[in-house]
Structure 1
Amino acid sequence: MRKLYFFLVGIAFGIIMIKSEAASWFRIFEMFYFQSFHMYGIIGSAIITGVIGNQIIKIFKIKDFNNNSIQYPNKDNTFKRYIIGGSIFGLGWALVGACPGPMFVLFGAGFYSVIIIIISAVLGTFLYGLIQNKLPH
């Protein structure tokens, strides 16, 4: 039953990404050239939704699917790590015109050339796993 739930959430996510044009390379291009507010509005809405969702989880002590309490660990050096990580993420996003969520949405919508980007992202994740213990966290 849980797999069906995640499958349906994924379908809904894909539909929302396509209908809102958040997976559109042209919208991403406009965003990086500061020609349109469209993507900034979507990203801002996602941030607000995430903040509210996290506060609801903290206030009502909502548990995960395995009935475990959700922990929020403290992190050191957050500013530096977010600037560096965000810059790398943004460069990749600008280079390929898609971030991880829309890559799979585009593949599901029939844009099969995006498989090259998906394979590259998986390879990059694998390489990060190999050097993760050598990086400051």
Structure 2
Amino acid sequence: MKFLKYFFTGIFFGIVLVKSEAVSWYRIFEMFKFQSFHMYGIIGSAVFLGILGLLIVKKNEVKDINGYKIQLPPKDMGFARYLIGGSLFGLGWALAGACPGPMFVLLGTGVLSMLLVILGAVLGTFLYGLLRGKLPH
């Protein structure tokens, strides 16, 4: 039963992304060329809601699906690591025309070329797992 709840939440999320044009390559292209506020508004709303959600989780000591208190470990603040990581993420986003969530939404809408992007993301994650111990953290 829990699976169905998450399944339908994912479908709803996909519908919202498609209807808001957040998965549109043209909207993403406009964003990277600073020609439209549309995507910045969506991303800004998501950041605001994420901050609000985290504040609620911290204040009310919310529990996860298994009944354990949600623990939020402190982040290691290093400017270079976030600059490099964000730049790589943005480069991949610009080249693929989609970030991780919308990749699956686009596949669901029939954009079969997203299979290559998903394969690349899985391969990159696998390689990171292999090299993680050798990378500076």
TM-score (norm 2): 0.96
Between the aligned partners of 1:61 and 1:79, the Cα distance in structure 2 is 30
Between the aligned partners of 1:37 and 1:66, the Cα distance in structure 2 is 40
* Unmatched tracts of structure 1, length 5 or more: none
1:111 is aligned to: 111
Between the aligned partners of 1:44 and 1:79, the Cα distance in structure 2 is 21
2:43 is aligned to: 43
Cα drift, residue 71 of structure 1: 0.9
Matched to 1:24, the amino acid is S
How many residues were matched structurally? Answer: 137
Structure 1 counterpart SS, 2:113: helix
1:75 is aligned to: 75
Alpha-carbon displacement from aligned partner over 1:88-108 (angstroms, at most 9, x marks no partner): 100110111110111100000
Alpha-carbon displacement from aligned partner over 1:37-93 (angstroms, at most 9, x marks no partner): 000000000000000000000001000001111111123234322111111100110
Moved over 4 A (4+): none
TM-score (norm 1): 0.96
Matched to 1:128, the amino acid is Y
2:130 is aligned to: 130
Between the aligned partners of 2:77 and 2:60, the Cα distance in structure 1 is 29
Between the aligned partners of 1:75 and 1:61, the Cα distance in structure 2 is 19
Cα drift, residue 126 of structure 1: 0.5
Same amino acid, percent of matched pairs: 64
